[in-house]
Structure 1
Amino acid sequence: MNIKTILSKPLPVVWYRFVQLVKLKMYVKTKFWQKIVPKIHQEVSKSKETWKAKSLLFATDFKASEIHQALQQQTILDAEHIMNGNISVFDVEYRFTQPISWHTDWRADYEWKNKYFKSYSFYEKNKAKEFDVKFPWELSRLSFLIPVARAYQLEEKATQLAYIQSILADWKVKNPIGFSVNWYPMEVSVRTINLIQLREILLEAANTDEVVNLLNKILLLHGIFLWRNVEYTDVRGNHYSANLTALLLLGSVFKDFYSEAKTWYNYAVKHTEKEFHLQFIKDGVNFEKSIPYHRLVVEFYLISFLVMQRAGLKIKENTLQILKNTCEFTRDVTKPDQLTPIIGDNDSASVLQNDQVSLNDHTNMLQLASVFFQDKRLNISKEKYHSVYEIFGTEAVKNLSSTSQDTFASYHYKDGGFITVKDAQNYFITDVGEVGMKGRGGHGHNDLFSFELMFDKENIIVDPGCYTYTGDLALKTKMKSTAYHNGLQVDDEEMAPMVGNWGISDVAQPFEVSCEASEEKVVISGKHAGYQRLEDAVTHKRRFEIDKSGFKMSCIDEIDCESSHKITRNLHFNEKAVLEIKENVIFIKNNKASSKITVDNATTVRIENYTLSYNYGSKVTAQKVVLETEITGKSSLQFIIEKEND
């Protein structure tokens, strides 16, 4: 954050960030970062016994040998795969040879040379190569070491422990504190949470003192750095939540070993519960309005409140109820195929990503919540995940049961701004809320009244997702735009203008939103004011009707205006869909399913290609249908999507 940005904030934030900036400059001038490394090395090494205090995140009665046999076997296979150089990054497997180049986007063969972490700039336009710092960042989060540690718990092979030690030692040497591209507060926070999990696993295994000592050194340096770079500002998001969780875990482990760690712990305890209420709406939806980020931040607070409770700290009942609401929201937006829709930004981040599930499968988090709240309705997976054994112990998992949704139901998160309708095979979701982050739209998109639709567990209409951040700024902006969602656009204008690389202006405010359910169907309607800024003010009202029988969906758009306008409605399909247009009907072949879309006669229909992304950094080409209509004055447009009879 530069001086200009700091000065635009409220006075307390200006003062906090100014003092932080001055201190950081002093640390560089006095070579504080270089001097702290030997001090920490000496502090850890002089101790007669390895420091083995735990964070309280993992259960005391967990035994790796007691998890079910299939999971044990899969763990061993995963570890062998990783040790052979096959590491998954954003759900794509890459081949790495040692020593690993920690500062390189290997896809573009681009390297960030080591220098002071404040010296980097990532927002370059018109790159010759599509390099993206998120890739070395993700690799350096070091979560791939966790399956190897789990395998060592089971087999105690020297090669497994040696692999972990060599990776950690190499990373530490190649990434001197404060002086590599991997020293950013958010990255330090997430890596800390991963390394704490790694350390907890190793503490339950034999002959690990040397590796644990190495981890102690690395983690203490992470705490020292993070405490001096807390991402505090006026409207704080997932970064600050990550900071708090990491400081809490670090403080839990080291507060009786390293005096400054008491300060980290006390700060996290003081601010965590208060911050939780600032970042989650009462009905449980995260205020950034991104479903992937919602999962990540729920993970942070689920971990934090669990550790605080185990430390004997009392969490308010209201806090726990809202935390439960956050998990119910995740359950309610989960599709029949157990994946979640990608609404808003998606950087595929998770600190519980070693449960052999895809990054868009949030059921492992729900399983943890099910045990935490002793509510089986939150667990929708029949599989028992590794994380639930580790965090709650073997006894707690023995009687774990799951539930499934077999009936037609709708869920309206009025404050959070989402509505879902689903049964055992079919699914619909629409965004009916503001842009997020208190109107700043940091991780939100121009997707008001956009929707996703699934028939018979096959995606029909999808959100295009979020392919990249810094890799291709033009594509990043495009994928946040109105035209890249399944909404309605007037005169090729954005429903809300973009602001810089991240923001969206707060003009597309929804109003008169309702969701009415009967025995036969669910009717959803709402208006927004995004296009009222045009010379001829336009008000858009959209109404969805979803029939219980057959899950037929009708979409009626009412445009209130006086002059002539071009109306564009976009419908994005999954990459496997085969489309055919016959007059005003679009026929869709999608694996085994067939469906059709009937469009009003005033509209022209064409097919275009677009970029679809299911995970960060991954993209495929898919097709979308563009519906264009020239209107004059008040108008009503409609399309119907339904299953086609065989």
Structure 2
Amino acid sequence: MEPRQLPRVLRTIWPLHWSQISIRAWKAVQRRAPKIRPDRPLEVPGIQPGPMAMPPVFGTTCDSGNELIESLAGGKLRLLNQSFAFGESNWDWRLGSVSEDRLWTVTLHYHQWLYELAKIATESPEHGPKAKELWGAAMSDWLQNCRLDSPGAKPLVWNAYAIATRLSWSIRTWQLWHDAKIELPQELLQEWQKSLYQQADHLYRNLEWDLRANHLLRDAVGLAWAANFFVGSRSRQWLAKAQQIAVQQSEEQMLPDGGHFERSPFYHLEVMDDWLTLAILFPAGRVRDQMRETWQRAAEYARWLRHPDGCVAQFNDGATINADQNLIHGEVIGVDVDLSMPRGGKHFSDSGVAVWHGEPWTLFWDVGDVGPNCQPGHAHADTLSLECSFRAQKLFVDPGCYSYDYDRRREYDRATSTHNTVCIDQTDSSEVWHIFRVGRRARPRGIQVSTDQEHFLGQAEHDGYQHLAGRPVHRRIVEVSEEGFLIVTDQVDGLGTHQVEGGWLLAPHWKIRMRENRWELTNDKQILELEIDASSRCQIDACEATYHPEYGVEIATKRLRWKFEGKLPFQIVCRVSEVSKPLLG
């Protein structure tokens, strides 16, 4: 580390829990220290007799059916919308140091695709034999080459989050084979059972108290799966630890208004699925009831955070996935969720999101912290950014999240200048760096939100630029008027000369035509006018941009952009209205 980087590192670790730092330091020492004694041998117990409670399947990251068989037989596997060489003739588990396609690699080791193969084998008379053959070959190869002591296996294959997720898919898969009464080679079954027990034991001894947040909760889910699968005293120990973590994390991670403290709607749905799983896997009692109540509170928040197409807003990391299926799953724990769209406005003051559902606008405005002090890894420098839909069509979108590699796409997805907010002096409002790091963090303040049946009005500012010369402050006022206009006023106060820029990332289906101080926006159904009124002369243009609605998906689009360079204060008003016919030149 260079000396000039030290202040940024200190700003990054200062807000953390002291225990996170000490645990991370201890793990670093353990990795480098020579082994004094070998690992104790594991005595693998039996598994629970009879069928176990089986939570619903939450989404998919891979192909299914004949497409999966054909791709693997052809030497490719598609995960997270990307295909790479992998399959029958090349079981490349990507062991060792991985700097590219890291998320794809760790998803490979979740084993959901192996579950899908087993599902085909147990359900399809036509494709079942080939699916069983592929599953057996892949699992045997994984058990042989991805052991805990295999060179290069620990970082991604045997990290706690991967183990916890893999345990869920593996135990589901085991249940599929059992229910279908399909015999597998006895030696393979024994090695698989031994590996599952070793994975659960390793997870228990390597819980992610250094990362916390959604990772620690997923660790509890993995332990709960293992506790329901195996018998014996160790299993009871795993269950007790899973319950302890679940109770602690439900109180730490779920905010009073129902939002998840990482402030990512996508990860909000992920932890909802984990709460639901725990509410099924835990035995009846107080802890199970608490999981159910936590899920129910989270479901109401998710219901409000949906665009008219059902997909959640895309603040911070994650994909803009449809939340309806997650909400429907509440039926299995006795919670029925109203899937109709809410109407009116709501300010989730703990989560820091202001929402408007009306006609013609749906609006989500980020007026909260970028994330919790203990784990802002999924944060973007997007304070005061907004997303919106017009007459059920997405209009202004978030740049999204392509992957978790240290590359230009990651920088793009997290940068202030790519979001629907204001950037000063080409500096991010929060100091996002590397893949998951955040140093200096913008803090919103002066937040006021008022709504009635036809009108939304909110204002807020943040301190993310007060470290710059002249201590500039960005203040934003957002209004949805009774006449159906969206009006966004950005005010930058401070001293001295600065470069101020902002703009709007368009959903890809919109086309634009530029005029002197306005843009005409059209799609197959609507024509909108976006008019600019600035206190000082500024440059207005449209530039090429990209949109990442899902992991591994990149779509070309346009960014409407304005730039000002001069002395502060500066104010700019963007007014969006519907017009009945194309504007004349």
**TM bracket, shorter-chain basis:** 0.7 to 0.9
Pair 12,293 (structure 1): closer, same or farther in 2 beyond 3 Å:
closer
SS in 2 for 1:514: strand
| Deviation digits for residues 101-139 of structure 1 (CA, Å, limit 9, x no counterpart) | 3334xxxxxxx45xxxxxx474xxxxxxxx322222212
Matching residue of 2:208: 231
Matching residue of 1:167: 138
Unaligned runs of 5+ in 1: 63-76, 105-111, 114-119, 123-130, 349-358, 381-403
**1:146 lines up with 2:123 in the alignment:** no
Q: Distance in 2 between matches of 1:317 and 1:97?
A: 43
Pair 638,187 (structure 1): closer, same or farther in 2 beyond 3 Å:
same
- Higher mean C-alpha displacement, 209-218 vs 296-305: 209-218
Q: Distance in 2 between matches of 1:226 and 1:312?
A: 24
Matching residue of 1:177: 148
Matching residue of 2:501: 568
Query: What count of residue pairs does the alignment treat as equivalent?
Result: 552
User: Which residue, 540, 543, 558 being the options, matches 2:491?
Assistant: 558
Contact 1:595 1:641 in 2 (8 A): yes
User: Which residue, 301, 305, 311 being the options, matches 1:333?
Assistant: 305
Q: Distance in 2 between matches of 1:194 and 1:27?
A: 34
Q: Distance in 2 between matches of 1:232 and 1:445?
A: 23
Displacement of 1:185: 1.8
Matching residue of 1:518: 452
Matching residue of 1:468: 403
Displacement of 1:161: 3.5
Write the mapping of 1:121-136 to structure 2, written as runs, cut at 5 A: 122=99, 131-136=100-105
**1:589 lines up with 2:579 in the alignment:** no
SS in 1 for 2:564: strand
User: Which residue, 52, 58, 66 being the options, matches 1:80?
Assistant: 66
Amino acid at match of 2:176: I
**1:294 lines up with 2:268 in the alignment:** yes
Matching residue of 1:269: 243
| Deviation digits for residues 235-278 of structure 1 (CA, Å, limit 9, x no counterpart) | 6122111111101211221133xx43332222112221112211
Contact 2:358 2:454 in 1 (8 A): no
Contact 2:405 2:435 in 1 (8 A): no
Matching residue of 2:418: 484
Displacement of 1:548: 5.3
Matching residue of 2:182: 207
Amino acid at match of 2:220: L
User: Which residue, 202, 212, 220 being the options, matches 1:244?
Assistant: 220
Matching residue of 2:539: 604
Matching residue of 2:296: 324
Pair 95,331 (structure 1): closer, same or farther in 2 beyond 3 Å:
farther
Q: Distance in 1 between matches of 2:85 and 2:327?
A: 32
SS in 1 for 2:228: helix
Alpha carbon RMSD of aligned pairs, Å? 3.2
Matching residue of 2:3: none
TM normalised by structure 2 equals 0.85
| Deviation digits for residues 148-192 of structure 1 (CA, Å, limit 9, x no counterpart) | 433444446444434333322222122122432522222112111
SS in 2 for 1:622: strand
Write the mapping of 1:394-543 to structure 2, written as runs, cut at 5 A: 404-405=340-341, 408-423=343-358, 426-438=361-373, 441-470=376-405, 472=407, 474-543=408-477
Contact 1:538 1:559 in 2 (8 A): yes
Matching residue of 1:278: 252
Displacement of 1:318: 6.3
Write the mapping of 1:353-432 to structure 2, written as runs, cut at 5 A: 360-377=321-338, 380=339, 404-405=340-341, 408-423=343-358, 426-432=361-367
Matching residue of 1:97: 87
Contact 2:299 2:337 in 1 (8 A): no
- Higher mean C-alpha displacement, 535-544 vs 163-172: 163-172
Matching residue of 1:628: 563
Amino acid at match of 1:514: Q
Contact 2:345 2:452 in 1 (8 A): no
Contact 1:435 1:506 in 2 (8 A): no
Q: Distance in 2 between matches of 1:12 and 1:507?
A: 21
TM normalised by structure 1 equals 0.77
Pair 58,584 (structure 1): closer, same or farther in 2 beyond 3 Å:
closer
Amino acid at match of 2:369: E
Unaligned runs of 5+ in 2: 1-8, 58-62
Q: Distance in 2 between matches of 1:217 and 1:29?
A: 24
Pair 481,240 (structure 1): closer, same or farther in 2 beyond 3 Å:
same
SS in 1 for 2:162: helix
